[in-house]
Structure 1
């Protein structure tokens, strides 16, 4: 229930009267969240939508209350446009200062390298004065790189103060959590922002090189006899380069054999080969596409009389020659681990590789033969005489089987597809 008082009477018991017509008594909302930030708007109404007792003074009342009033007035009243208030998370959104720095890590277990120099990038977010440190990834570096410090406010001292954008400059040391980062340079946006705020940046410094980088640029003289094959050069130049071939696995010699599509990957980094089967939609096969794991395939083996050589792993000393990219050519059949494959196509990278390194090999794709043509080619040859019955009767039975296996016949063979499904 709301209580009101008459004009001129004091606000004491006995001089107030209840408002029986009032039905709303809720307080106005003065707290809300916008984009994850708490905002406290000023209330415009009182409890139960009543007008506020303390209203804002208008501009004329504020001018009249001022002690010093100008004696000379101008007829043209200057009405300046008041700009709207823009919070910091809106004005400084997506504005980041970027510094390049490095830190040194001492190497204790190497007699050649004293310390490693790790280049990093320092990001300062003007929106909330937070910072993050990221170490760029270097391929095949062998070091754990990436994000070193997630976005947070970094402590400056033991009194609870944090680093501000005014504390950063080129040539200074930024000590964070026991690691000292030396700032060497910054980007153009950071330079313009700092100059606009009246801070003069120091001259940029070059990034130092560690002893391992200098040793790599100027290798020490070696007196070992150089081999004809450089595995390190192959690793550095051929890493992540794979020749991709499309082939058919001709497995028609078995009882229920067929021709299956496969993909052959030849890894140039270590001359290894991997073969995977290609399954169609709803083919009914188990999801194990790896037909042959990644390995080096011997092409010519040395004659050996060691028993049992057929079940032992083949070492490099027992092989004269391994398969190379020259052995894979479109339109030809290749035998890999007693399996016959027909190469019929390859991808664009493989074609470009052969045009650059092996122009004498013509990598021209051709049309894949159909399954029925391969079966007919296989079944047209009569098997050898096995000694049962007369040769003439055997040939007649084979001719009957050939006629049953032709496409379009009503009855294929003794074990038809429908009988196998049932």
Structure 2
């Protein structure tokens, strides 16, 4: 290696000594240092004892990223248990305070507080969120708000006119407050409500099985006797009476009467005529207060013969249930088997009655008032949710983009309408007719669309059931009434005549001849071509 191209590993300072330097923008002269670049003993000693040559450099400690307060305090909630008193005024009792327990939650992220009352069943008052999440003012004069340092067990907080007493807090809140140097007070026990110690009468539910012995109940659990019947009405015949299903539950001797529903019935449907109860045999004595009588009957252990029994249901006979007369028509196979095995009674055959005729209500279709089409108005009369009238999809697909065009003029006595020319366009896909007016120079009338495509009804038809113009009504010389205007067809094109020849069943012979004669007179069709087309 050439001289002076050798690198000294011990030497670390290669700077040249100097006496002039800048400090804070000022030029300052300094004394020349006696130590040169490679003669510094301190540098040499430091280099010789540097462990980084053998073990490497020590990794610096990572600097923790900066986190703002709203990130550090996010999802930190301090929860306290508390209560507040509410005055209760009862006319027939002493005045007492209602103790309402709440949860007070403090959100560290924005110093807001919310108060929520847990829901209790049958409390008698509305529960839930009492105070929405908001900042609570502590001193309005100095504009100070409550912070987490102001919260502790045993203190009172007055928020929006309500005084809350803090009684306890959760474990996380205790650890957080202790870690921040706040000493917690002793846990307070909330006072009990005076109304809980009042002896109020509690009505016990009626046990329907107390009047039966256990030996009678166990075999009859889940056994139901089903009967098919009709409700007898003196003003109606049997085939006009409403059918019902009568169910007798052997478990507790209760009876339910349910109406049978038919789709074609037009009267109001009532699911249950009689809900599941015990029906007394002499119902007139208990008809004014049936519930009280039923409770008394169970408590006093009345005789079972006072209530309807399975032996009272016989096919072909009547039974009176709470003043309603029912004719038993039939019963199911399981019920017949029960009567034969247990009661030793043979049920009769099914009572045949003429087919029950549903009540047919005649609905009058209202008159068409002019809004929309008659088909749309009729659909709103048939159902609550109107449906779009059905369309002939096959006709639309076969005749898509096929039109018949005719020339027409206005049948009017006004002189300004004598020279007006129109083109009538008939759509073979949906039968709609559109009329466009030809523009004539210096006529003073702007041409364009005159009648938008629509179904046009004839002048002498019934509005509720309109008769629309079809292709049969379009020929040379025909008169069409469109929106109180009379149009006379005066011309046709060659395409119309060819379509008439291909579909002669859709047009009369007079219509075909009129179009053919017009085309021959205008030299659009020769007589030989007309003979070929007709053949």
TM-score range, shorter chain: 0.3 to 0.5
In the superposition, the TM-score normalised over structure 2's length comes to 0.37
Name which one, 1 or 2, has greater alpha-carbon Rg: 2
Considering Cα pairs closer than 8 Å and 6+ residues apart, tell me whether 1 or 2 has the greater RCO: 1
In the superposition, the TM-score normalised over structure 1's length comes to 0.45
